[in-house]
Structure 1
């Protein structure tokens, strides 16, 4: 057993032994440990009863990693869309964060849940029951105990959409020593970019197993945006939101703010108010918080009302249109952000004003919207999108000027075309990734 697997084995044992203490001091960790214990039993039970045939096991930390991997997995299974029709293999999906559940409707696995604890007995039992033909990790969430168990079971293991952000904790000297053997055991690794490939090799990935395949999140963003438009979801959202179409001069433009945090929301509300005070156009803000809990939504609605904004919750609109003069719509539904972007004129992506981390910029870009975000982030795709002219980086204090400039439809169209072209240029990773994995797939 290598150093990383020994570490996670010991950590799992300590977490189990300290269960009562964790439930009092760190209930979040206690819940995660309990979920992984249940996950191991559920995987084994499902595996023992599954139908015979090939199976791929996909693991990702959360919804974003899983969704980005989905197009390549569809290709590998023989289905080119979210439909299971024609699929030639079963699919098991595990996720580290409960947010991973949001991706399941799109991926449509045969079984899904938390992964086993990263210790030999749990991982060996899960692999023995599932009998997968391939184990696939998404992005970077490689678990050393599971990799070691796959090697013992003779199951090939791969990493796709491999991304190592600048300053990643896995790049530290101690982490490299602990996890180097695990990365070296991977049979195939698809890197999102040449820079990611260099960093993955530094982590221990063997050069012969490494290829630059791109990031299939580009493919997914295009498919979701195109489906939203073709399926009528975007038109339905526009009708329900009630504001006039912002594509023409003089109309009220709509800004869809996705995955926002309180810092983003304060900055947007301040900016929109400043634009109105200076005689600029009124904007309709559609704000979709990253965590639309009742407490967060209630606080946001109260803040808008205290500012004098005409605010309505999306859940209160129903099938009827919003009030024509609603200046803020708080979107309190999850899982439909790609469709919501397609109904906007400009997108704002949250997480770039604080330490929460910038969220997905590809979905609004694929919808052909200019994308605005804050400067504090480590996303290479966001930097590249801005360099291509599809995004504007704006600190909180400059947001009013940014909105004033984007009030002009010709400028919005120019940035929106650049954003869409950027995503189209990055597509194709799904096929390349599937080609990388196919030699590992049992005939």
Structure 2
């Protein structure tokens, strides 16, 4: 399996530059990876002490951030290298204050892994959740550097737990310790003989809980909301937006406000959404010149403010689970004590399953179900507040992963 894997990496090194001109995301990754080693050479010196944090993308960065902050505070004299595999993480967090150097992770060839680790020489490496690269981890182990995996969540059908997965199982054994989100993941690791495992829970609970300590005020949202009941649709995709377009155009009452924050903010798609709504809409980009108080729908055509916007929600919808794109972050609205509606494809998201079982989150699969649940939450204040309270309590009761990890690291 290892031979096939390494052939696949070599093939990717050849193919990706060829298709990059036709795909902007791939192009950013290809160009960014070409610069990684020169960036490291320019910013690292032989006497530097370093830590290395790796995240697949933005979601894993947010997940690991509470641990990163604790390590940053403790290891003040160290340089921190933060790497991303995906452009969606790198492009948004390339100026992260948590790190001294932010780079794209090179493809996981043996040559790249050796060169990367020889340059960084990390005293501690932290991988987040699932982005596990065998050659990098093998090189770390070869040098006897310390590495941990945090917020890991495993499923029985993953390669590690199948007869053909020895190469990837070996990668897991390169970690000094693995911190899992749940008992099931720990059981799977124990079944393959990996015993250095602790169920810490999900660091995202600590991450979203810290949001309550921040200033979440957005004056333009207050001007738009006008103390009326507000439904926030976050990280929406077209299939979810269609539900809102239908509901707003046919059923929404005059005293209800709606905020829609699409995942894709390309101008043509924002314009298409606005055109389909038969009520007064205002875009974030128009807020300085528009009459916010008289608008029915506020469309967020920017990124980076959705978490604060959830603070103004009375009901939230989180996108992704109606289609095949994957459910977005349900914990962000839950921490504010907001009832949540999601699509029906959430099986791979244990926190969504738990929120539904807890009674504060509701799954829908079609327009009728959406209309029924949203209408009940709008019209029945008691049901709405009870569901929101259940979500807030759930978040509070699952904090503590960061403390478990930092205690292990003696910081």
**Shift of residue 153, structure 1, vs aligned partner:** 2.2
- CA separation of 1:27 and 1:315: change in aligned 2, threshold 3 A: closer
CA distance in 1, matches of 2:231, 2:260: 8
Match of 1:372 among 341, 358, 361: 341
CA distance in 1, matches of 2:130, 2:407: 20
| 1:259 and 2:235 are equivalent in the alignment | yes
CA contact (8 A) 2:48 2:78 kept: no
CA contact (8 A) 1:159 1:186 kept: yes
Q: Secondary structure at the match of 1:342?
A: helix
Q: Secondary structure at the match of 2:258?
A: strand
1:190 aligned partner: 179
1:52-71 equivalent positions in 2, closer than 5 A: 52-53=48-49, 55-71=50-66
Q: Secondary structure at the match of 1:369?
A: coil
| 1:211 and 2:198 are equivalent in the alignment | yes
In the alignment of these two chains, the number of paired residues is 407
CA distance in 2, matches of 1:126, 1:372: 43
**Shift of residue 386, structure 1, vs aligned partner:** 1.6
CA distance in 1, matches of 2:96, 2:382: 35
**Shift of residue 376, structure 1, vs aligned partner:** 1.2
1:396 aligned partner: 366
2:318 aligned partner: 349
CA contact (8 A) 1:239 1:321 kept: no
2:297 aligned partner: 328
1:26-425 equivalent positions in 2, closer than 5 A: 28-29=25-26, 31-48=28-45, 52-53=48-49, 55-78=50-73, 87=76, 89-101=78-90, 102-103=92-93, 108-165=98-155, 169-170=158-159, 173=162, 176-202=165-191, 204=192, 206-207=194-195, 209-227=196-214, 231=215, 233-240=216-223, 242-245=224-227, 252-276=228-252, 282-304=255-277, 308-318=278-288, 322-377=291-346, 378-397=348-367, 398-407=369-378, 408-425=380-397
Bigger relative contact order, structure 1 or 2, given CA contacts below 8 A and separation 6+? 1
**Shift of residue 256, structure 1, vs aligned partner:** 1.1
**Shift of residue 431, structure 1, vs aligned partner:** 0.9
| 1:430 and 2:402 are equivalent in the alignment | yes
CA contact (8 A) 2:338 2:387 kept: yes
CA contact (8 A) 2:85 2:104 kept: yes
- CA separation of 1:261 and 1:205: change in aligned 2, threshold 3 A: farther
- CA separation of 1:226 and 1:211: change in aligned 2, threshold 3 A: same
1:249 aligned partner: none
Q: Deviations over 1:313-366 (max 9, x none)?
A: 111103x77432312111011112111111221111001111111111001001
Tell me whether 118-127 or 209-218 shows the greater mean CA deviation: 118-127
Q: Which runs of 5+ in 1 are unaligned?
A: 80-85, 246-251
So what's the TM-score if we normalise by structure 1?
0.84
CA distance in 2, matches of 1:152, 1:436: 22
- CA separation of 1:133 and 1:239: change in aligned 2, threshold 3 A: same
Q: Secondary structure at the match of 2:9?
A: helix
- CA separation of 1:87 and 1:21: change in aligned 2, threshold 3 A: closer
CA distance in 1, matches of 2:271, 2:125: 42
Q: Deviations over 1:135-189 (max 9, x none)?
A: 111001010110011122221221101012575x546736623311111221110
